[in-house]
A and B are shown apart, each in its own frame.
Chain A
Amino acid sequence: MTNVIRVQTLDGKTIEFVDEIVGSGAMKDVYFTPCKTKVVAFYREPQDAASRDRLEMITGAYKDRIFDAPGGNYWREQFCWPEHMIEHEGKLGMVMPIYPEHFFFEYGSINNDMLGIKGKEKQGKWFASSNNRERFLDAREKGNWLNYLQICLKIARSVRRMHAAGLAHSDLSYKNVLVAPTKAQTCIIDIDGLVVPGKYPPDVVGTPDFIAPECVATGHLDKHDPNRKLPSIYTDRHALSVLIYHYLLLRHPLRGDKVHALDPNEDETLAMGENALFIEHPSDTSNRIKLDNVRESELPWKDTDKLPYTITGPYLSPLFERAFINGLHKPNDRPTADEWETALVKTLDLVQPCVNSACTQAWYIFDNTKSPSCPFCTQKYEGALPVLNLYSSRDGANFKPDNHRLMVYRDQSLFPFHINRQLVPNERLDDKFRKRVGYFIKHHGRWILVNENMPDLSDVKSKTPIPPGAHIELIDGLQLLCSKDVGGRLFVVQMVNN
């Protein structure tokens, strides 16, 4: 029978844990509370004063800054944030929430879970590797491409929140971001290592694959050498870009076939560091993936001609270019988490369901051509496809393009943040703006917008109001004013006929 140990947290709460290690990380051993609703994690090694101080801030001021702010509740599911600090038998530790159930495999691997991973944590690496996903994972665990876009949005949003609070995670990787693709949920873990610029230095370098090139290139220097580059918000930005690229394209942006050195370790160090080169660099093609070297299970993902990064659409593509071409070796040029979040929100309005019901990815991004097709299964879109171009006004008279489009598909919804530029779908959005205000259906071959809750909706040219409950057919050139409020949007309909 194992013992239950009762300890006081440093903020005066009583907590119990079962004296049996249920998991071990690189630095900590983890125990369950008797009710298994929390875990207690202890550092194996004694921690210095700065680490203690940091943990105190993480469980105190930093936690409050994020969770007690407006919209703070939203973050409870996005972060596994240490709640209390404890000390027991000379070891420093923390109390944390357990991961929600959807972050553990429900079905696991194929063939009646041949790998025995049912019930194990859903580490991102299972889903970010085409080989793992295709050969081992049960189909019910995989999720589709829309799910991965949503996952990327959630990760970007969570990183944006940390950065906005002046905190760098310092070790963003598949391991430290749990994902539940079928539920489009993510959770950032291992937060106790976070870095505060100028205050708490990093104690990890990060995970290979995600370490910024400048950190790899200076990794041989001593930690106190002024030329050594350490994890920071800038290196988090690199890691975030790699995560997004990897989840959407199932390949690493820097792992091509260029041989930098004959010794494998030296080669890896150069490939991820000093000589890091984007596999899809437009002019320097020396690091392209050679298809002869690729495993069957890695296709079509590793075929950069078939699935170039541009399939991610017009908002994400320029960010990938900044992350891996201009900003790869210039940390200041890297896209911020905020920019990724904005681009992902807009990209989610560009998705189109694939008409091929057997398509494994099920969704793709409109490619701005007159005969769009799914890049994953090559299925062409059939019939008329309406595209709404979003405009908004600063003065109520002149409407300017917002560089934002909304694709129409069956049962696609319109939300308040589509019809008003000033509303942004994030954690601060008020509940009253989260309700659908209209939807689209296809009826007898014609596309119809049904108004549910847009009191101002009107056809601009004919000046005809379309009151809630009424509907209007979408035709090429139709202009719809959605809202007379400040920031109200005007839609211009384009029909893609093929």
Chain B
Amino acid sequence: MARRLPVYLLIDSSGSMAGEPIHAVNVGLSSLVAGLRQDPYALESVHISIITFSNTIEELFPLTPLESVQIPELELPRSGATHLGEALETLCMKVEENVQKSTPTTKGDFRPMAFILTDGKPSDLQLFDEMAARVKQMSFASIIGCAAGPKAKSEYLRQLTSTVVTLDTMDSSGFSAFFKWVSDSITAGSQSAGVELSADNGTLPPPPAEIQLAI
């Protein structure tokens, strides 16, 4: 079996995302998949799973080969908390269950990538702290956080990863630039094929101008 590159997208579906933000995310996800399908490297290895989180956690679909992925419309509850901690717990569980580990005789999958998009802050703080520590111990190839809109708190995402981008506005142009970057990162990931080179190489592509990297 050719090595798969597992890509997990964790999307905030809490009530505050209603309206333009969630539409923009829907559009962004569809164009992400359509764009990746035009990349012959990504088609070889990328498998995608989407998990949404509000007060409930939903795995929209498990790891699916890029060519078979169909993006459903994301629907939102009217209100609701942001259970990011629980979402991370689900992510860890799914990675444990579904990412193939190598054995002495068979090759496993590449290290997974995770993208986490939220417009708020975790409401299950205790679980979040616990899970943030656990996520850091799992060997993700990269985790990228996106704090969207004025209420998003990037400091929580920074507990998970040093790569956090912030979107000042939650309009479609911001999201589309973000998803373009996600796409470039996945493409780079599928091309680098895990070969580790010195620090100046194999890094993520620079984020687009519309997005600020939280420092």
Interface residues of A (CB under 8 A from B): 26, 44, 115-117, 120, 123, 125-126, 129, 131-132, 135-136, 174-175, 204-205, 207-209, 211, 216, 219-223, 257, 259, 261-269, 272-273, 293-295, 298
B194 in contact with A115 (CB, 8 Å): no
18 A-B pairs, CB-CB below 8 angstroms?
A26-B205, A44-B206, A117-B38, A125-B41, A131-B44, A132-B40, A136-B67, A208-B195, A216-B197, A219-B197, A261-B102, A262-B104, A264-B102, A264-B107, A265-B110, A268-B196, A293-B106, A295-B1
Contacts of A26 in B (CB 8 A): 205
B43, B111, B206 — which one has the most chain A CB atoms within 10 A of its CB? B43
CA distance A272 to B201 in the complex (A): 16
CB within 8 Å for A269 and B40 given contacts A264-B109, A295-B2: no
Min CB gap B164→A, angstroms: 22
Cβ–Cβ contact B110 & A132, under 8 A: no
Whole-angstrom distance between the alpha carbons of A331 and B108 in the complex?
Answer: 31
- Cα distance, A126 to B43, chains bound together (Å): 10
Residues of B within 8 A of A (CB): 1-3, 34, 37-38, 40-41, 43-44, 67, 101-111, 139, 141, 191-198, 200-201, 205-206
Say whether B37 contacts A223, CB under 8 Å: no
Please indicate the chain A residues that have their CB under 8 angstroms from the CB of B111 in the complex: 264-265
Which residues on B sit within 8 Å (CB–CB) of A129? 40, 44
Of chain B, the residue at the smallest CB distance from A120 is B38
Which applies to chain B's interface (DSSP): helix, strand, loop or mixed?
A: loop
Docked complex Cα distance between A268 and B202 (Å): 13
Contact of A132 among B44, B104, B108, B200 (CB under 8 A): B44
The contact of B103 among A125, A174, A259, A294, by CB within 8 Å, is A259
Q: In the bound complex, do residue A223 and residue B200 qualify as a contact, i.e. CB atoms below 8 Å apart? A: yes
Contacts of A211 in B (CB 8 A): 195
User: By DSSP majority rule, is chain A's interface helix, strand, loop, or mixed?
Assistant: loop
A209 with B193: in contact, given A136-B43, A295-B1 (CB under 8 Å)? yes
**How far apart are the CA atoms of A44 and B201 in the complex, in Å?**
16
Q: Are B198 and A220 in contact (CB under 8 A)?
A: yes
User: How near does chain B come to A251, taking the closest CB pair, in angstroms?
Assistant: 11
Contacts of A263 in B (CB 8 A): 102, 139
- State whether B198 touches A269 (Cβ < 8 A): no
Most chain B beta-carbon neighbours within 10 Å: one of A222, A266, A267: A267
Evaluate contact between A220 and B38: CB separation under 8 angstroms.
Answer: no
Rounded to whole Å, the gap between the CB of B46 and the closest CB of chain A is: 13
Min Cβ gap A258→B in Å is 9
Check B40–A257 contact: CB distance below 8 A: no
Bound CA–CA A136/B66 (angstroms): 13
Q: How far is the CA of A219 from the CA of B201 in the complex (A)?
A: 9
Which residues on B sit within 8 Å (CB–CB) of A294? 1
Q: Which residues of B contact A257 (CB under 8 A)?
A: 106-107
Chain A residues, Cβ within 8 Å of B1: 293-295
Given A263-B139, A264-B3: A205 touches B197 (CB 8 Å cut-off) = yes
Which of B43, B191, B195: most chain A CB closer than 10 A? Answer: B195
By Cβ-Cβ distance, the 4 closest A-B pairs, closest first, are A125-B40, A268-B194, A219-B197, A208-B195
User: CB-CB < 8 A to B104: which residues of A?
Assistant: 259, 262
Q: How far is the CA of A263 from the CA of B102 in the complex (A)?
A: 7
Query: How far in angstroms is the closest Cβ of chain B from A139?
Result: 17
In the complex, chain B residues whose CB is within 8 Å of the CB of A259:
102-107
**A259 CB → nearest B CB, Å:** 6
Taking CB atoms, residues of chain B closer than 8 Å to A265 are 110-111, 141, 194-196
Contact of A264 among B43, B44, B194, B198 (CB under 8 A): B194
Contacts of A131 in B (CB 8 A): 2, 43-44
